[in-house]
Structure formats: structure tokens, C-alpha cells
Structure 1
């Protein structure tokens, strides 16, 4: 099955879960300098990003951002869900949890939305992310240890 546009509901759903899997590779072991480079291959060399308040583009800046992100966000686990799609665009809702190395290792959960636009070859050429972090207690975590993030029941109040 091709994961290049135009998308069907099935290919959009698969694309979202592949992205989730790719971003979660860094939680399977201690992050290495190779992880951001591997993830950057899913984006065009001139890919444009907005991540919260940061705007940047291109492979080098994506790698730099992801390196910084995972130095800050320890024990990162992510879930993405398809929100909407069109021929070459996908919108996702996501939640992820992490310990903040820049804030005394407090547990946080990020709630957010992403807007993706794809090139003809299936790589992402634009990524916009809006997210908000909420401090949580360890007891309130959803994505503990070896839990399958796709099996966690996330109630409507968190959607």
C-alpha cells in the first residue's frame, strides 16, 4: 500500500500510525544522535515547520530541533489519532507524556493538533504543531512502562 497522496481514509490512518511509531522509536532506548536524522528522512529537504512558537525549515534545522527536544523530553511516549484528511493533507490530534529535564524531571502531558501537507513522494513538506503542556502526577500517567499507547482509553474530555 502506498502512503503517498492522494490519501484514502485507510492510507491516512496508516500514515498517522507510522508517524506515531517513528516518533516513539526514541522511547524504546536512550535517544542517540542518529534518531533525529532517521526521523528527518520522513520530511522533504526544504520542509517547513512550526512547532509551538518556533518556526524553521530544512533537514539541518529539523535535526537540531529534535536533538534539543529529546534532550529535554525524557521518557517520551506519544499517541496520534487521525482527525481529518484530504488528497495531500492530514490533521492529527495527539497526546504525549514526558519527564521535563529542564524542570526538575516533572511529568508533563502535551495535548495538541498537527497539520501536515505532503509532497507527491509521501514525505512531509509542511508540519504545523500547536500544543499545550499540563503538569501531571506520575500516578496520573496514561503511557506507563510497556503499555500499548493505542489501547489507552482517552476519554472525550481529553479530545
Structure 2
């Protein structure tokens, strides 16, 4: 992996480092480009997403392609929960609708572990979906695309 450029910030993380790393991840997921998101991980990354276990960038990319083909209108907000020298814990919420128009808000937690170059080596995600009415939506911005800087996060939204 020595031919890969570092993905700043790199471990060991300072107190300030995780916040922009979390926002960069949120922006990438909201862009809904599976290849771009996968490239933030190590080539041999290990992911658990709900009950699915993935190994390597190709599996991550295929998973994200399937995910965003069915989670229409996907809008995500991530928020740092805790961190250590090479790990970040994130809580997140996202909203989407299925092919029948039923809206959902998904609530979850992720644990990330990074290699020395700042690539995600592991991601463990636990997620719960809650059906919501259209009137209960809280995430309003043009999608795909990043959340506007002035749009509140989960804490400010009471989530």
C-alpha cells in the first residue's frame, strides 16, 4: 500500500482531526458515488453493514451500488461520537424512500478503524429503519449532494 497517497487527517488523531474526516465521509456518501466511497478504504477493508459482511473495495462498491439503487432520495447526516488514536465512532441518521414511496429514517452507529495512511481498514455499522410520513422528513436539501453547512445535525434536530 505504499503507493497510495495519505488520506488526511491520518492517525494518530488529534482532538480536532475526526470532525473533518466525518464530514468528508458524509459528503462522499451523499454524493452517492460507490467507487469514490470505496476508495476511502484500504484494498482489503472489512465491513459489516447490518447483517452483511464485506471484504475489499470491490465488495464495498457493489454493496453501495445495490444500496443506492433501492434507497431513493438518500440524504445522510453523520456526527462524531468518540475517537481514539486510530478509531472514530460515529452516529448517523439518513432518510430515503423505497420504490413504493414509503419514507424511512434510518438511525445507526458506525465504528471505524484506520490504517497509518488514513484509509478505513474496518467499518462496523448497526442500523435501524423507522417508517416515517412525508410530513416527518427533516433532511431537506438537493440530492445527491452534500448537506449544506447551515443544515442542522442530528443533535440539533433532536435525533
What TM-score range do you get, normalising by the shorter chain?
0.7 to 0.9
1:1-159 matched pairs, under 5 angstroms: 2-26=8-32, 35-101=33-99, 104-146=100-142, 148=148, 151-152=151-152, 153-155=156-158, 158=159
CA contact (8 A) 1:110 1:131 kept: yes
- For 2:8 and 2:61, locate their aligned partners in 1 and report how far apart those are by CA, in whole Å: 26
The higher relative CO (CA closer than 8 Å, separation ≥ 6) is in 2
Q: Aligned in 2, Cα 1:25/1:134: closer, same or farther, shift over 3 Å?
A: same
* Deviation beyond 2 Å, 4+ runs, structure 1: 145-153
- For 1:150 and 1:69, locate their aligned partners in 2 and report how far apart those are by CA, in whole Å: 27
Q: Residue 49 of structure 1: CA displacement? A: 0.3
Question: TM-score if structure 1 supplies the norm length?
Answer: 0.87
Q: What's the Cα RMSD here?
A: 1.6
| Greater fraction of residues in helix | 1
Gap regions ≥5 residues in structure 1: 27-34
Q: Aligned in 2, Cα 1:139/1:148: closer, same or farther, shift over 3 Å?
A: farther
Question: TM-score if structure 2 supplies the norm length?
Answer: 0.87
Q: Aligned in 2, Cα 1:6/1:150: closer, same or farther, shift over 3 Å?
A: farther
Gap regions ≥5 residues in structure 2: 1-6
Number of corresponding residues: 146
SS at match of 2:16: helix
CA contact (8 A) 2:141 2:148 kept: no
